[in-house]
Chains A and B, each alone.
Chain A
Amino acid sequence: MSRLDELFARCRAEGRAALIGYLPAGFPSYDLAVEAMLAMVEEGVDAVEVGMPYTDPLMEGPVIQAAHERALANGTRQADVLRTVEAVAATGAPAVVMGYWNPVHRYGFRRWAQALKDAGGAGAITPDLIPEEAPEWLEACRDLDLDPVFLVAPSSTDERIAVVGRTNRGFVYAAAVMGVTGARAELGDGARILVERVRAQTDLPVGVGIGVSTGAQATEIAGFADAVVVGSALVSALQERGVDGVRRLSAELAEGVRAAVRP
């Protein structure tokens, strides 16, 4: 059982969805990023997505783009991302890297997978990688018992959802709305429809991300998904109100996922 499998089993036993929080390593500084991630875990975030800062983050809206730019300007490097993973993993909460492919490619994906494993990482979400392009990466993950997490989107065909369902381990990341990351006032029913379509193809847990920013939205999503993923809202909280802001939002979201009425 991987660390993510354990987490989802525990949440299922508690009758609730998991809460996954995203922050990029190195933003606004190495130390504050780690401090904020530890605060998230203390306030009830179940797993941390550690963002790997990248010059060309294609799936990100303005908030996370700016955070990546700042982290890179601070001199954040792969080694810092891995140290951040280590700090989070030491709390017992699973740490999953959210990373664009080129930095991993450059590091050498087998070497990088080993480094992630050594840091105590649970797996990696790869937003610009599709299963067909990643046979060696999948092999490395299998050898090291890391969870590779690919995304599905509302535009994915059922055949593609099935491919991702067969390939992923840990969970399936469902990008709830078409578009880049960033808070949305309304989530619409796209997420619910996508989760149903994923469930028809795989028994893996389904996490819903992109657009979720409030406790109320977390409650809504937690009513039908196995995990709620929050990114931009936490980054904005850290940017505007510091670690304390992250603490308060995490508590609100943790309460939100626990308030959901589940079928």
Chain B
Amino acid sequence: MTAHLYPDASGHFGEYGGRFVPEALVAALDELTAAHLAAKTDPVFLAELDRLLTTYAGRPTPLTDARRLSEHAGGARILLKREDLAHTGSHKINNVLGQALLTQQMGKRRVIAETGAGQHGVATATACALFGFDCTVYMGEEDTRRQALNVARMKLLGAEVVPVSSGTRTLKDATNEAMRDWVTNVETTHYVIGSVVGPHPFPMMVRDFQRIIGVEARRQVLELVGRLPDAVVACVGGGSNAMGIFHPFVDDLEVALVGCEAGGDGVETGRHAAPLTAGQPGVLHGARSYLMQDDDGQTSDTTSISAGLDYPGVGPEHSLLRDLGRATYSGVPDAWAMQALEKLAKSEGILCAIETAHAFAGACDWGRAQVAAGRDAHDLVIVVNTSGRGDKDVDTAARWFGLVTGEQVAESELVRAHEGEQP
């Protein structure tokens, strides 16, 4: 595979991607494609984006040598690409700043977004505050509950948060509502999609804005180790942090690319969110890609402890990488992810997002499997994309590990119910 060949001019990654959208959106997608392609080679745009990423978002993010975590990965050396240290606490800001600049160029002043874990919503609300745009974020009702901290952050940043109570009340339905808003208000509004999903040009454009993760990581690991890593590991919800770190390594065939989907209660139970592991090609939210669906083509319900991975679809470029065998994907169950979250916290002093914890579980697994297959652990270097920090997940984690008493749980629920009553 030659990474730069995809997508083709019509937005297809092999047989994936494309545009499966209401006709009403096509003109806006064409406009956006033209704006993005022009911006890609526009020195003024690139300099402005670079300035924002450097002086506002805090790039480049460091590469941290996680010495104590190594014992959990069969002794392999683990390097953390620290997107959790970027402004707003995750990689999502990279994409949002790029799209905010494009929004400004296109002369639009209203921005909408969907969010699952709330990190993309927070990043969007942040950029809108910076650029002076009106901001509306759609979020599944279930996710407003489990990611309450991020709801408060978005509101403090001046965004309107619209809870979505249709369907599964999670990221999928928040995306449906955002699409419905966009179909209605497309003249004035830009829809900042938060991952490498959606109709062309989003999968390409979001990847291009997230590639900075992999570009930096590749340079940093060469400086630190003197060679390319054996594996690059990332969690996969829609797939933006993974695509961002994978892409600059795609043509380095000696580097294994490992994607960790949400295994939920275990892929074998059917209760998970792992379309690349256990789905079939289908169409959702504007693109053809692997999809969790039943045999009648209805989208399946998903299960994951992580709101940011709890999504039945995935970016089309991952579907291509999967079919080509260039990247491998598997489902990491909730329990493994939470175990990994605890290990990382206690061995490195880094409390990561639950999404990110899936990548650590997958990285440890990959390292141990290599050692079991006879590789020398001291020769193995694994880069893990540390996509976000875990402040938003403290509540969920505290319950998982039994760190709050029943009384405290009841009380926090009472507070929340009370908050819900306020206008």
Contacts and interface: CB of A to CB of B under 8 A. Distances in A.
Nearest to B293: A106
Given A151-B22, A153-B23, A180 B176 contact: no
Given A152-B23, A164-B23, A180-B184, A102 B18 contact: no
A102 to B, nearest CB: 5
Contact of A58 (B28, B179, B291, B293): B179
B22 A59 contact: yes
Contacts of A130: 19-21, 23, 26
Interface in A116-166: 127-130, 132-133, 150-157, 160, 164
Contact of B298 (A72, A133, A178): A72
Interface in B1-60: 10, 18-28
A217 interface: no
Contacts of B23: 130, 150-153, 156, 160, 164, 175
Given A106-B293, A178-B24, A178-B183, A54 B298 contact: yes
B167 interface: yes
Interface residues of A, number: 38
A150 to B, nearest CB: 7
B27 A157 contact: yes
A179 interface: yes
Given A72-B298, A77-B296, A133-B19, A179 B27 contact: no
Given A132-B19, A179-B184, A156 B166 contact: no
Nearest to B280: A106
Interface string A170-203: 0000010011100000000000000000000000
A55 B297 CA distance: 9
B26 A156 contact: yes
A26 B296 CA distance: 15
Given A56-B176, A151-B23, A106 B299 contact: no
A104 interface: yes
Task: Count chain B CB atoms within 10 A of each CB in A54, A69, A103, A175 and give the residue with the most.
Answer: A103
A78 interface: yes
Interface in B268-298: 280, 282-286, 288, 291, 293, 295-298
Interface of A: 54-56, 58-59, 61, 65, 69, 72, 77-78, 101-107, 127-130, 132-133, 150-157, 160, 164, 175, 178-180
Interface of B: 10, 18-28, 166-167, 172, 176, 179-180, 183-187, 280, 282-286, 288, 291, 293, 295-299
